[in-house]
Amino acid sequence: MKESWRWYGPLDRIELSEIAQTGAGGIVTALHEIPYGEVWTREAIAARKAAVIEAGFEWTVVESLPIHERIKRSDGDLSELFANYRQSMANLAAEGMTTICYNFMPLLDWTRTDLAAPVARGGTCLRFSATKMAALELFMVEREEAVNDYPDCVVHEAKRWFDTSSEADRAELMHAVMAGLPGAYDRYDVEGLKTALKLYEDIGQLELRGHLKRFLDEVIPAAEDLGMRFCIHPDDPPRDILGLPRIVSDADDIGWILEAHDSPANGLTLCAGSLGANPANDVPAIARRFADRIHFAHLRNVKKDADGSFEEAAHLAGDTDMVDLVAALLEEEGRRREAGRPDREIPFRPDHGHELLGDGERGTHPGYPLIGRMRGLAELRGVIAGLTYKRVA
């Protein structure tokens, strides 16, 4: 497996020289500073690639080539947006990039309610509180129908939290929910979020699936011609929130997407944490079922609560059997080597991580600290070494 590390380019507080000390050999990055819908020029791509190579790395995966919200809504004439997207793909391919990770989550990326929840023995983690999310939906955004999306006990606790919260508490919650959007993304206050949600009022799961199918129809043939692989990232959290449909939350969703274009160019980013937050998901089983279409892996773990809340756990300490999951990916790599596939080595990165020791003082992107992710990478490296160890007589 190919050890990689997510780097936000000029927006990142972590330098490539520091990442080199983690032992990772690959960089996962994107041109986050370019607004959605605009073409990534070959010159800009080449400059980013040169910086990565000069620091001693390989640019392993593009994460992400973002999709404009109008495409997700299938809003109006999209010909220019699709043409720009395909041109960016061509420019990436011309610079040797072959793997593009993307997501199709409406409006928001990964969503948390707490960016610094305390962890036993010190440090902090990202957390999704069902109570706080329900408070946001019911009493801040005032989406009355959200009462049907949460258990009665959560609704009761949400009302209590809202009634006792301060304006600063509510502002902090809104900041946390928006924090999953890196780079040149729109961020909203409560009134702005209400307005943005209205654009999705008539879009349910079936409609959003249709819009994803249209996107795949536009880009997968181009990816095949360019020798590129697309890999969709699962929803995070893997459930509808704010009335927005989520369509990449379980094995059935993934199966539908991969069958929509039965092509190696249409693949999966296996995100253990996103899928692991759904109690119905057996993540190692999902990895084995779709192994031949996994082009990239995010390895992290979560610990779930009965009310639908969850938080980031240490990489080997959450609800997902990480050793079994890594074994599934290594099994697939073995099959690819035997088949002579050029993509025999699956790139992965330690995803998210606890803020440990001095991490909290650096102001890095939430979920992407240096020391916490380095701990995760070291643990995963040990698992891989143990599973691939061969005693020499």
Catalytic residues: 233, 271, 298, 351-352, 368
Residue with tokens 């007589």: 393
Q: What's the DSSP call for residue 140?
A: I
- With contact defined as beta carbons under 8 Å apart, do 343 and 336 qualify? yes
Q: What's the DSSP call for residue 355?
A: B
- With contact defined as beta carbons under 8 Å apart, do 352 and 311 qualify? no
22: nearest Cα among 370, 337, 384: 370
How distant is the alpha carbon of residue 385 from its chain centre?
Answer: 26
Whether residue 4 is preceded by a cis peptide bond, meaning omega within 30 degrees of 0, is no
CA 351, CA 367: separation in Å to the nearest integer? 8
CA 302, CA 62: separation in Å to the nearest integer? 25
CA 201, CA 193: separation in Å to the nearest integer? 13
- With contact defined as beta carbons under 8 Å apart, do 153 and 161 qualify? no
332: nearest Cα among 361, 367, 291: 291
Q: Measuring CA to CA, how many Å separate 259 from each of 9, 235, 270?
A: 34, 18, 17
How distant is the alpha carbon of residue 341 from its chain centre?
Answer: 26
- State which H helix or E strand residue 17 sits in: helix 16-20
CA 348, CA 295: separation in Å to the nearest integer? 9
At residue 121, φ and ψ (nearest 5 deg) are 75, 10
